[in-house]
Amino acid sequence: MTFVPWAPFEQWKHTRRGFRDKEYAEFKKGIEERLFAQAKRHPPELMTKVKFMELSTPLSTEFFIRAPEGAIYGLHPVPKRFSSQALRTRTPIDGLYLSGCDVAALGIAGALTGGLLTAATLEPRLIPRLF
């Protein structure tokens, strides 16, 4: 996995998955080849075991999980995001709670932490056991 900017993919944002033009396929193939070439360097013997590979782009992420601009780790990690009152476990809607990485921090660990925070919000007696 690697991070890529949204800008190079933006020209295809209004196209449909599976129906993008040849230019997109070639662009995507070029990225795939460069990533695979880098991976073959460390350790090369491991790459001989690869039978299938598929490149996911920010457009793929946007399609499958509706992440804006393919942001795999949630909202942009800027101070305003972390101080937002809208990104808390409790919402103004009775019985609706938020969880996941946008409630806590980025990535998998952030998603886990967000889940723990939501569980603790629902059942405060969990807090001593969690921490």
- pLDDT tier at 19, thresholds 50, 70, 90: very high
CA-CA-CA-CA dihedral for 23, 28, 30, 32, to nearest 10 = -160
Q: Give the pLDDT confidence score for residue 29 in this predicted structure.
A: 95
Q: Kindly state the DSSP code that residue 100 receives in the 8-state scheme.
A: S
What's the whole-number average pLDDT of the chain?
89
Residue 127 has pLDDT above 80, yes or no: no
Same domain, 48 and 81: no
Cβ proximity of 47 and 40 under 8 Å: yes
DSSP per residue over 16-85, as a string? PTT---HHHHHHHHHHHHHHHHHHHHSSHHHHTT--------HHHHHHHH--GGG-TT-S---HHHHH-T
Domain match, 95 and 35 both: no
Give the pLDDT mean for 100-114.
88
Count of domains forming the chain? 2
Checking if the pLDDT of 129 tops 70, the result is no
Give the Cα separation of 22 and 3 in Å (integer).
23
Which tokens belong to 88?
């808390």
User: Which structural domain range is residue 1 located in?
Assistant: 1-72
Residues 52, 98: one domain? no
The average pLDDT across 26-31 equals 96
Residues 88 and 58 in one domain: no
**Nearest by Cα to 28 from 57, 66, 70:** 57
Residues 14, 56 within the same domain = yes
pLDDT of residue 130: 60
Residue 101, pLDDT score: 86
Please check whether residues 31 and 66 belong to one and the same domain.
yes
Q: Is residue 93 very low, low, confident or very high in pLDDT (cuts 50, 70, 90)?
A: very high
> Which 3 state secondary structure label does DSSP give 115?
helix
Is there a single domain that holds both residue 3 and residue 39? yes
- The contacts of residue 109 (CB under 8 Å, 6+ apart) are none
Whether residues 103 and 93 fall in one domain: yes
In this structure, are 119 and 102 located in the same domain? yes
Together in a domain, 4 and 18: yes
40 plus 61 within the same structural domain: yes
